[in-house]
Amino acid sequence: MLTKEEIFIMEKMSSKQRMLAAIERKKPDRLPVTTHHVMQYFLDRYMGGMSSYGFFEHFGLDPIVWTVPLIPDSNKGEYLENGNIMSDNWRIVSEPIDNDRYVTVRRSIITPKGTLTTVLQSNEYTTWVNEHLIKQKSDIDIIAEYATHPLCDKTAVDAEADKHGDKALIRGHIPGFDFFGQPGCWQDAACLVGIEKLILLTYDDPGWVKEFLEILRQRKLDFIRSLKGVKYDLLELGGGDASSTVISPDIFDDFVAPFDCTLISEAHKAGQKIVYHTCGGMMPLLENIAAMSPDAMETFTPPAMGGDTDLAEAKKRIGDKACMIGGFDQHNFFTNCSPGSTRKEVRRCFEAAGQNGGFILSPSDHFFDADPELIAAYTDEAKACT
């Protein structure tokens, strides 16, 4: 039974305290309710262009403030120019390419031993890779020798944390590769090589794959070791290319876990908490992910969204090992349904995973289109879940 003092503390929880309690697998005063990145497309189309933080305030959600400011390692001769971290041996050039349908840009990295190029395309929703950076196996030797190793801008992160105090969770991610990448080593490599090719290479040339993953891990380790004392609340690792709807548990165990578990361990040494992000299938990998000892796991995507999550089973299997974040079907319950249906889905998630704490209700990744009335119902119902 809770003491009067414990009850008083719970009743006075701020949004940050509430979410941190869940991340630490404790019982907060009520179900924390938030969302992943708030997409600019949604803010412009449905919310009159309001800010991301304004969105949280408008709906009364528990706010998350994302910030990933990077600085060059001046000890290695790196510097910031045109928004890119470069050195005399790692020069970045951007060139627009005419395209009637999409914004298309060629990015070139100029080094003493050759130039690496990639082509990115964008529309009003998102950005994707049209031409991968790694075209031949020797390209990774150029990265190993000349790539910059960005560090965390502690001053900028701390200023953001001080600005928001207990009102918001300060969240970031382990940086992906220049231009386009993901936080996890395997997931970053998938963006640079192409996921289909990378999977085949785990059979055809596993040594090369592991060599590349180690190169990427070393860049990420330098960033993580610069996090000591930084006022982050949670940092994201992982990415969708390590979900069980993309790779097998065997590939996860051989090519994902050995590299990312080191990053989690080093983050803990730096005093930081890690959430492992796996949008897509998770059920065959739950224990594999939990064994890496992240503080939290996400996104617990439901079958109707292309995932496979049974929230109640997941809670039973790993709920005592990591906080669970996500689980809500944003496609079917933020659009084309009644507020009552949205409320029912919130209750389903809470009853499956939230009643003993250690759960933060969130859509299972981004959303672009949503009915504001349904977001209001989502928030209101979650606040009644205690």
Tell me the pLDDT tens digit for each residue of 268-288.
999 999 999 999 999 999 999
- Across the chain, mean pLDDT equals 95
> Could you give the domains of the chain?
4-71+145-383 (3.20.20.210), 74-136 (no CATH)
* Stretches in the chain below the pLDDT threshold 70: 1-11
Beta carbons within 10 angstroms of residue 75's beta carbon: 7
Cα–Cα distances in angstroms (integers) from residue 318 to residues 90, 236, 291, 359, in the given order: 43, 18, 10, 12
Q: Is the pTM of this model over 0.85?
A: yes
Peptide bond into 309 cis (omega under 30): no
What pLDDT score does 355 carry? Answer: 83
Inter-residue contact 290 to 260 (CB < 8 Å) = no
Of 36, 87, 19, which is closest to residue 279 (Cα–Cα)?
36
Inter-residue contact 27 to 355 (CB < 8 Å) = no
Residue 252 DSSP class: I
* R_g of the chain computed on alpha carbons: 21
What pLDDT score does 375 carry? Answer: 98
Give CA–CA dist 271/137, Å, rounded. 36
CA dihedral sign, ordered 262, 265, 269, 272: positive
Q: Between β-strands 274-277 and 296-299, what pairing exists: parallel, antiparallel or unpaired? A: parallel
* Helix (H) or strand (E) segment spanning residue 356: none
What pLDDT score does 5 carry? Answer: 47
The secondary structure of 67-93 as a DSSP string is: ---EE--GGGT-EEETTEEEBTTBEEE
What pLDDT score does 29 carry? Answer: 96
Of 290, 308, 364, which is closest to residue 334 (Cα–Cα)?
364
Inter-residue contact 187 to 240 (CB < 8 Å) = yes
CA dihedral sign, ordered 175, 177, 180, 184: negative
Query: For 240-253, what is each residue's pLDDT tens digit?
Result: 999 999 999 999 99
What pLDDT score does 11 carry? Answer: 60
